Amino acid sequence: MTDFRDEFKLLLEESFVSGKGTDVEIYNGMMSFLNRVVPNIPERLYRYRKIDDRGYTLKAFENGTISVCKPKCFYDKYDSLFFVDTEKLISKMRETSKLALRQIMLNIRNHDPNLPAEKASQICYYMEQGMSDNDIIDKIISETCSNYFTDVEKELKERESRFRDSEKTARIACFTESVKSKFMWDTYAGGYRGFALEYNLREFFIRNFNKGIPAYVFPVIYTNERPDLTLDESNYYTFQKMEGKGWLDKLEPFRPFLDINMLSPHKPYLYKDKVDYGHEREWRILYYNEESTEDYMEISDQGCLKAIYYGPDIKAEDYEILHQIAKNKGIDEYKVSIDNNSRKYSLMVSTI
């Protein structure tokens, strides 16, 4: 049976939604991507919860909310880090600079009236000296860009953690495909003493989308390497620099080479180490809200909670509280336990 994660990896890496398009074109590009993903979101996804001393997980369950947090709150220090290939970066920047300079020279020869004289003066001087186009380009880059390339290389390396550490980042909630994972019960549900909640996140995404709430649902891709965002990140970085300094209008020839893939901001959150985390079969909610700087938030589950599963070692008093909330919500209830009738290391689920 084909794993949708394999298809999703190819889809994410091969799809390009141009940031230069109109709002309608960008919307259509995103919809084309999402229409491939949403039908493959499992109807049942589970979130393991431990019962904390302050009662946060109990309140979230009762209030119908899902807690989301910034990536920096995760124990995994590699979570949401990407990679910048500096060798590829410098090569790309030189190529972009050369293309832009060739465009300026073409505009000079075509006597473009919109080309400011101060921008063309240096190039015109070298052209009058009889230098070839290639020699002019190499000389200008050598004289004006070498230090800039080095500075950009350093800054972009430092930005590899920006999706993890910055204030304006997605907030994440983690889910898995199985409610019978012993590792998940032990690690994320307080050593079998907690509970698990079942959601239909396909419904969750659709209901949020219809309300204009940016809460996406994607599978995690398990690999042996961090995602390489060199070209996307260098284009975005350059665009930000130009925009911040008011250069975009002055350096119009550069704009065609600074296209930004609108899917790129999702990528750092969706790759994890295959060796250490592949068994978790994780799906993630990516929730975007730039108006808040809080590390943790509660968002509505949109009525997509379907069932609760009680851990084998849940305390009687905790069970009674959860059971009453579940009855009030009218959701299904199940108990997870060790299968004593089998020699296999497996858990069993029974209806309450």
Clarify whether residues 110 and 65 are in a common domain: no
Q: Which residue has the higher pLDDT, 72 or 237?
A: 72
Do 240 and 226 lie in one domain? The reply is: no
Question: Is 201 found in the same domain as 67?
Answer: yes
> 191 and 337, same structural domain?
yes
**Residue 46, strand partner residues:** 176, 198
Helix (H) or strand (E) holding 96: helix 86-109
**According to the model, what pLDDT value does residue 2 have?**
67
Does residue 248 sit in the same domain as residue 277? no
Residues 326 and 282 in one domain: yes
**pLDDT given for residue 44 in this prediction:** 97
Q: Phi first, then psi: what are they for 312, rounded to 5°? A: -60, -30
Question: For 15, phi and psi rounded to 5 degrees?
Answer: -85, 145
Q: What percent of the chain has pLDDT over 90?
A: 64
Cβ atoms of residues 331 and 306 within 8 Å: yes
pLDDT reported for residue 142:
81
Neighbour count for residue 263 (Cβ, 10 Å): 17
pLDDT recorded at residue 75: 92
Task: Find out whether 46 and 198 touch, Cβ atoms under 8 Å.
Answer: yes
- In the prediction, which pLDDT does 279 show? 95
Cβ(339)–Cβ(348) below 8 Å? yes
The domain in which residue 98 lies consists of: 86-159+232-257
**What's the distance, CA 223 to chain centroid?**
15
Residues in the chain: 352
- Domain count along the chain: 2
Determine the Cα–Cα distance for residues 200 and 185; give it in Å rounded to an integer: 20
Query: How much is the average pLDDT of 108-115?
Result: 81
Residue 19 to residue 103: CA distance in whole angstroms:
22
- pLDDT at position 248 over 60: no
Q: Which of 49-53, 60-64, 95-99, 227-231 has the lowest mean pLDDT?
A: 95-99
Same domain for 327 and 221: yes
Among 222, 240, 257, give the residue marking a domain's end: 257
pTM over the 0.75 mark: yes
- Per-residue CA distances from 39 to 119, 205, 206, 282 (Å): 52, 11, 11, 17
Lowest mean pLDDT among 59-63, 115-119, 130-134: 115-119
Region of poorest pLDDT, from 77-81, 94-98, 208-212, 245-249: 245-249
Same domain, 74 and 135: no
Q: Is the pLDDT of residue 89 over 70?
A: yes
What is the pLDDT confidence band of residue 96, given thresholds at 50, 70 and 90?
A: confident
pLDDT at position 157, please? 86
Question: How many CA atoms does the CB half-sphere of 237 hold within 13 Å?
Answer: 22
Q: How many whole angstroms separate alpha carbon 142 and alpha carbon 27?
A: 41
65/58 Cα distance (integer angstroms): 10
Same domain, 194 and 334: yes
253 shares a domain with 179: no
Q: Phi first, then psi: what are they for 91, rounded to 5°?
A: -60, -45
Give the end of a domain, one of 257, 274, 307.
Answer: 257
The least confident of 165-169, 246-250, 254-258, 319-323 is: 246-250
Q: Is the pLDDT of residue 98 over 80?
A: yes
Q: Is pLDDT of 252 > 60?
A: no
Mean pLDDT of the chain: 90
Could you identify the residue written with the tokens 């019960």? 185
In this structure, are 275 and 318 located in the same domain?
Answer: yes
Q: pLDDT at residue 329 above 60?
A: yes
Q: Are residues 276 and 140 in the same domain?
A: no
Q: Are strands 45-49 and 195-199 parallel, antiparallel or unpaired?
A: antiparallel
